[in-house]
Amino acid sequence: MSAIKYKRVLLKISGEALGESVGDGLSLGLDFQKIHSVCQAVKDCHDMGVQIGLVIGGGNFWRGVKNGQGKLQRSHGDSMGMLATVMNAIAVADVLEQHGLDARVLTAVEMNKFAEYYTRDTANRYLNEGKVVIFAGGTGNPYFSTDTGAVLRGVEIEADAVLMAKNVDAIYSADPKADPNAVRYNRLTYDQVLAQHLKATDSTAMALAMDNNMPMVCFALNPPRNILRVVSGEEIGTTVTV
């Protein structure tokens, strides 16, 4: 896998993918064995010459309460979610450093004691210097998911593609665990995903990718070396383009 298809990528990883399994499909906290496996795959991509930006969700610490659900005001819940992504970013940056990579955490909200404040120019400079940049804090605003934040950062840094590393191996017409007749897609257009309400990302993220003609690849994070397969041009998962 010496060839590179995508020379600069925005890799989105769910927080749950880095958590410890606690049953019923839930993952909480941090599983450092998983994190080390992911960071090794990121290092291998970096060694191939790929510039890598990372966005990590926060679901292993906080899943939020959509519209408050009578428990919490939505904006406050989303603020907690943004903080969860910062916690994950700091942990992953530490492990990346253990693997010999220079990693920088940039946050969408100012918290100078813990990370640098995000600007597009700072991120671009770090990527050109060979650093791995971890974008934390989502978009810095409530009501936007980390999927949307990932596409936004991908567009801003002019990535060749946004890579969505998920718990499923592709986009399906329905939940493949619940529906044995679910159709697996290898290629889709943005319009098809939006029109059919396919569960690839939230609709805001997909619309943003479509508006900016940003290719998206949705694939399984397990095993983490799938990341190398994608950047090398192997067609795994589902590719979404115009």
At residue 199, does pLDDT exceed 90? no
Question: What gap in Å lies between CA 130 and CA 140, rounded to an integer?
Answer: 25
Distance in angstroms between the alpha carbons of the first and the last residue of the chain: 27
At residue 139, does pLDDT exceed 70? yes
Question: What gap in Å lies between CA 198 and CA 182, rounded to an integer?
Answer: 11
pLDDT of residue 68: 52
Question: What gap in Å lies between CA 227 and CA 142, rounded to an integer?
Answer: 29
208-233, pLDDT tens digit by residue? 999 999 999 999 999 999 999 999 99
Reported as type and span, the H/E element at residue 120 is: helix 120-128
Average pLDDT over residues 116-134: 98
Kindly state the tokens that stand for 106.
């940039």
- Which is more confidently placed, 157 or 27? 157
Residue 188 in 3-state DSSP?
A: strand
pLDDT of residue 2: 56
Question: What gap in Å lies between CA 206 and CA 193, rounded to an integer?
Answer: 8
Proportion of the chain above pLDDT 70, given as a percent: 97
Average pLDDT across the chain, whole number: 94
At residue 67, does pLDDT exceed 60? no
pLDDT of residue 1: 46
Amino acid in the structure at residue 103: A
Structural domains in the chain, sorted by start: 8-241 (3.40.1160.10)
